[in-house]
Amino acid sequence: MSLLRAAIIGTGNIARQHAAGLLAHADRVELVGVHDVDHARATAFAAAQGGPAVFTTAAALLATTKPDLVHICTPPNFHAELAVAAMEAGAHVLCEKPLCASLAELDLIQAAEKRTGRFCAAVFQMRYGSSAQHLRAHLEAQSVGRPIVAVCNTLWFRSPAYYEVPWRGKWSNELGGPTVGHGIHLMDQMLYLLGEWTSLRAIARTADRAIEVEDLSVALVEFKNGCVATVINSILSPREETYLRIDLQQATVELRHLYGYDNSSWRFTPAPGAAADAQAALVATPTSPGPQIVNPAAAAGYAALCALPTPDVPANHTTQIGAILTDVADGTAPLTAGDQARRTVELLTAVYKSAFTGQAVARGSIVAGDPFYTAFHGGRSLL
């Protein structure tokens, strides 16, 4: 079987994770070329990655190496333009978050997907851990009932020095603060688990850092299934934590970590009435059925929820890249493209529109002609 051909555009920090992910799948893919506007950086990167060809322009990289997959690892303001160029050149795209600068750019990307038959998937590695996929299956099957209320907190800390990198902290380059740059991962994971959101209200502030964009946003999100979530995205939180909690009818599910989770990061608590049944189901074996179970269906649902799969596949770039290579080879749709990508970009856009206007925003209401369609900040500044 011939190897797939991958290329990387933008060879800074995160590109190293992409190169490591490609190397981990060396039986399926080879890194054939790289490009960075900083040619010396691209050359040093290539030397450290086994010597793929180095190009001074993205166009030359695409035309010469004819890659099957292009990894876009530049600052956010270049993502859409480079993604469209790569698809036009016949490549599929795996693009770092945030995928694009606006819904207008997302429309350009998705029009290019239709025109070229190629896909543009966003990097959302948090969807790909085996434990998150297990939980999603249980949420879909409603094995412990409906989700009622959720908490989605990205409480991280970025010092003033973090914003000394020239592209950070500006609407024109970073496109936003922790909403698009940090909390985006957990918000996307929340949407993956809870499904269609319908409306939200939000506030955003630049509370402490000397930056243009927000350093804090708080949102209240309503879902089609009736669930309501509170969301905090902060880079001002000294004790850092990534925390997702979903209260379902028969159980509470909690995920607590910082930058990556595994099976040990989850905690499950049965509803008080179901606790004895759940305990009985957990200790029951085929030869020793254990104490009597009052509601066998609920007990079985809870026991199945708690049985996290092994091997414990981590949520990281390598896992997502493996799944994307399968999508390229098999022609399947990636988990983070198409409507899934739109759902998250619409949520980000709505957080900003609501924060800037003070109004609730319904999903699907931000369309061409709305100032927030072309820029997350809608042409306004935070006070």
Ligand X SMILES: NC(=O)c1ccc[n+]([C@@H]2O[C@H](COP(=O)([O-])OP(=O)(O)OC[C@H]3O[C@@H](n4cnc5c(N)ncnc54)[C@H](O)[C@@H]3O)[C@@H](O)[C@H]2O)c1
The answer to whether residue 270 forms part of the interface with ligand X (CB under 6 A) is no
Size of the site for ligand X (CB under 6 A): 20
The smaller minimum CB distance to ligand X, of residues 45 and 373, is found at 45
Task: Spell 233-261 as b/e; 16+ CB within 10 A means b.
Answer: bbbbbeeeebebbbbbebbbbebebeeeb
Say how far apart CA 70 and CA 35 lie, in whole Å. 11
The answer to whether residue 168 forms part of the interface with ligand X (CB under 6 A) is no
Footprint of ligand X on residues 301-360 (CB under 6 A)?
none
Angle at CA 229, nearest 5°, toward 257 and 342? 90
Question: Of 147, 177, 181, 183, which lies in the binding site for ligand X, with binding defined by CB under 6 A?
Answer: 181
How far does Cα 5 stand from its chain's mean position? 24
Say how far apart CA 179 and CA 156 lie, in whole Å. 12
Question: Of 96, 212, 214, 215, which lies in the binding site for ligand X, with binding defined by CB under 6 A?
Answer: 96
Question: Of 5, 11, 217, 356, which lies in the binding site for ligand X, with binding defined by CB under 6 A?
Answer: 11
> With CB under 6 A as the contact rule, which of the stretches 12-20, 63-71, 264-272, 325-333 interacts with ligand X?
12-20
Single out the residue of 27, 24, 25, 43 nearest to residue 35, CA to CA.
43
Footprint of ligand X on residues 32-51 (CB under 6 A)?
35-38, 41
> With CB under 6 A as the contact rule, which of the stretches 7-15, 145-153, 236-244, 350-358 interacts with ligand X?
7-15
Say how far apart CA 182 and CA 204 lie, in whole Å. 14
The identity of residue 261, as a single letter, is Y
- Rounded to a whole number of angstroms, the minimum distance from the CB of residue 159 to ligand X is 15
The answer to whether residue 155 forms part of the interface with ligand X (CB under 6 A) is no
The answer to whether residue 13 forms part of the interface with ligand X (CB under 6 A) is yes
Contacts of 29 (CB under 8 A, 6+ apart): 3, 4, 5, 6, 22, 68, 69, 325
The answer to whether residue 9 forms part of the interface with ligand X (CB under 6 A) is yes
Binding site for ligand X (CB under 6 A): 9-14, 35-38, 41, 73-76, 78, 96-97, 123, 181
